[in-house]
């Protein structure tokens, strides 16, 4: 995908700039099968199905906390250095500058696959070869749900009250000066309530 008025250029290199754009559907295309595979892997390794389902939802919950924490800290961190503003812009500032850019709402696969491998190794080390995979599968599903919901809150108009409230929550983070450093949850408002950043 090339630069357009909706999706302005970020990099001088045409190749690098093209790979800075990702259509939303690549996220479920990659991560739904990956989540299912990892879940089956854990069950094959010995996880009882009932407990595995519980571990899946625990992993999803861990993702929601990770989502909130990363958004509140790393994504809004501006190091007081010469490279700080550029780093912040590339990491998250681009999204706040070009809110309607539909190709920069989800993480590029090269980045998400690398981070997925890192988090997967952490789950494996922490929980072992049986419970690590089934819990990680919920974490991956949570990530997929987050990225798809992020796209949806910016570009879709579902009428369901839950979605309307979630969209309002995220739009206030973007457009309300008093909520600029609040409302960090995207796929859930749970942690904003717990940490009083609602």
Q: What is the pLDDT of residues 22-68, one digit of tens each?
A: 999 999 999 999 999 999 999 999 999 999 999 999 999 999 999 99
Distance between CA atoms of 167 and 150, rounded to whole angstroms? 9
pLDDT of residue 19: 84
Inter-residue contact 17 to 27 (CB < 8 Å):
no
185 φ/ψ angles, rounded to the nearest 5 degrees: -70, 140
CA–centroid distance for 50 within its chain = 27
Residues 142-184 pLDDT 10s: 999 999 999 999 999 999 999 999 999 999 999 998 898 899 9
* Distance in angstroms (rounded) separating the CA atoms of residues 64 and 138: 10
The model carries a pTM of 0.92
CA 63 – CA 144 distance, rounded (Å): 10
Q: Is the pLDDT of residue 16 over 90?
A: no
**pLDDT tens, 116-132?**
999 999 999 999 999 99
- Residue 83 CB coordination number (10 Å): 8
């Amino acid at each position: 995908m090339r630069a357009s008025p909706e999706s302005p250029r970020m990099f001088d290199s045409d190749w690098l700039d093209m790979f800075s754009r990702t259509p939303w559907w690549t996220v479920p295309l990659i991560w739904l099968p990956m989540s299912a595979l990892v879940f089956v892997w854990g069950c094959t390794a010995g996880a009882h199905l009932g407990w595995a389902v519980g571990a899946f939802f625990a992993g999803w919950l861990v993702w929601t906390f990770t989502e909130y924490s990363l958004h509140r800290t790393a994504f809004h961190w501006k190091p007081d250095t010469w490279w700080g503003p550029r780093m912040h812009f590339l990491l998250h500032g681009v999204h706040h500058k070009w809110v309607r850019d539909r190709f920069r709402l989800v993480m590029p696969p090269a980045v998400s696959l690398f981070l997925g491998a890192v988090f997967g190794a952490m789950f494996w080390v922490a929980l072992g070869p049986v419970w690590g995979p089934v819990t990680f599968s919920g974490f991956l599903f949570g990530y997929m749900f987050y990225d798809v919901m992020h796209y949806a809150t910016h570009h879709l108009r579902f009428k369901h009250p839950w979605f309307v409230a979630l969209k309002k929550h995220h739009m206030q983070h973007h457009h309300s000066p008093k909520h600029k450093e609040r409302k960090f949850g995207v796929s859930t408002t749970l942690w904003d309530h717990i940490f009083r950043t609602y």
